[in-house]
Amino acid sequence: MGNSYDLGVIGAGPAGYTAALHAAANGQKVVIFEKDNLGGVCLNKGCIPTKSILHSSELYKKIKNSQQFGLTAENVKLDYNKVIERKNQTVERLRKGLELAFKNAKIEVIKSEAKIVSSNEIEAEGIIYNCGKIICAIGSSPRLVKGLEFDHEFLLSSDDILNLESLPKSILIVGSGAIGIEWARIFSNFGVETTIVELASHLLPLADIEVSKRVERIFKFEKIKFHLETCVEKIENKKITLSNGEIICPEKVLVCVGRTPNSVDIVGGVSYIGDVSGEIQLAHYASKQALNVVENISMRKDLIPSVVYGTPEIAWVGKREQDVEGQDYKKSNLLVSSLGKAQCDGETEGFIKILSQNNKIIGAHIVSAEASSLIQQIVIAMQNNISTDKLKEVCFAHPTYSEGIFEALFRL
């Protein structure tokens, strides 16, 4: 039958496209349904476009402050339209790469909304597709908050913020998770007056307490204002009253207090992966879920690394110090400023913190340049149960940020 497939996938984000490509590589006949652009939120409205804009903002800031490196740059101008143009080109390039990968793998792509009829049937535009197995990976959407409903003009979602044609003079960011922190850095780098409101007692509340405190210190230095244990009490004519009594009048408000799984009727026998599963909302976790379902490759949910981008990067894995309070554990904390590479690069802010029990690493928290790469070394060690003594036998290159991990091991 023309409409019979081994695997049917709804949603072409990291979870969906990983599942489709790996199933096709294993010889399965695959059909994938996507009502929007291939790549999902991550490629089109999340990780990739945000990192592209963030990189431009950091380059702008570095060029403006290049005198310390013996370089003088005059008449440095920001063309935000070009920043957005480059972001769009980056997304388009990656999307075309994904389209080509699908074509080469002979995956049929149906650009339409799809509905699961049964554990083996998908309907799209009145056509029934029979599938041996179905994977639903329809993602998530920005979470709505009562009183802060998006109007897409003044109150913006993380989707809206990517479509700004010009930078505001001031912005209020509600929420200081990864999205809030990264956009605060972007706007601050571009010279926008930036304020954060966070309901928790610290910025980046999911992080280790020491990481949160360091981010707060960095933001104070960068003149990014923030109000902790505070919420938006009321909005009248774009005048915002905070619960601490403060009144601010930002040009724009970015509301980023998490994401909500897209609604779907659960059908028995169907695999629900990625953000829609309501578990860890990270692109790399979604991809691992796909590999688990399609290739039966196991994963450790407790060892999924988290990364917040910008300068310096922030990354962590495993247990936080507040999780092991009262237990018998060891801790090392190495200042990045002690590393030769950091001094050479002028990237001296941050630390490498390792927690251990019984000669094994149980958690790591890094605020440093290249933290996104450094954390992966720790993940590999933890996942393979390598003792701290064994890790000390590894030769780390010099000068690198990685040798900070090596030095930290000797302080446990």
- Domain of residue 404, CATH code: 3.30.390.30
Q: Are 354 and 332 in contact (CB under 8 A)?
A: yes
User: pLDDT tens string for the chain (412 positions)?
Assistant: 468 999 999 999 999 999 999 999 999 999 999 999 999 999 999 999 999 999 999 999 999 999 999 999 988 999 999 999 999 999 999 999 999 999 999 999 999 999 999 999 999 999 999 999 999 999 999 999 999 999 999 999 999 999 898 999 999 999 999 999 999 999 999 999 999 999 999 999 999 999 999 999 999 999 999 999 999 999 999 999 999 999 999 999 999 999 999 999 999 999 999 999 999 999 999 999 999 999 999 999 999 999 999 999 999 999 999 999 999 999 999 999 999 999 999 999 999 999 999 999 999 999 999 999 999 999 999 999 999 999 999 999 999 999 999 999 999 9
Helix (H) / strand (E) element for 335: namely strand 330-335
Residues 251 and 230 in one domain: yes
Residues 126 and 20 in one domain: yes
Residues 32 and 66 in one domain: yes
Query: Number of structural domains, the chain?
Result: 3
Residues 19 and 128 in one domain: yes
Residues 94 and 151 in one domain: no
- Domain of residue 220, CATH code: 3.50.50.60
Q: What is the residue range of 26's domain?
A: 4-140+260-295
Residues 130 and 271 in one domain: yes
Beta strands in 148-286 (DSSP E): 155-156, 170-174, 193-198, 225-228, 232-236, 239-242, 247-248, 252-255, 259-261, 271-272
Long-range contacts of 238-244 (CB under 8 A, 24+ apart): 238/154, 240/172, 242/197
Residues 128 and 12 in one domain: yes
**Annotated catalytic, 398?**
yes
Residues 128 and 190 in one domain: no
Residues 249 and 148 in one domain: yes
pTM above 0.75, yes or no: yes
* Listed residues 203, 236, 257: the one ending a domain: 257
Residues 129 and 269 in one domain: yes
Residues 16 and 131 in one domain: yes
Catalytic residue of the set 22, 152, 365, 398? 398
Residue 98: helix, strand or coil by DSSP?
A: helix
* Listed residues 199, 232, 257: the one ending a domain: 257
Spatial distance between the Cα atoms of 378 and 97, rounded to a whole number of angstroms: 31
Residues 172 and 101 in one domain: no
Spatial distance between the Cα atoms of 370 and 33, rounded to a whole number of angstroms: 36
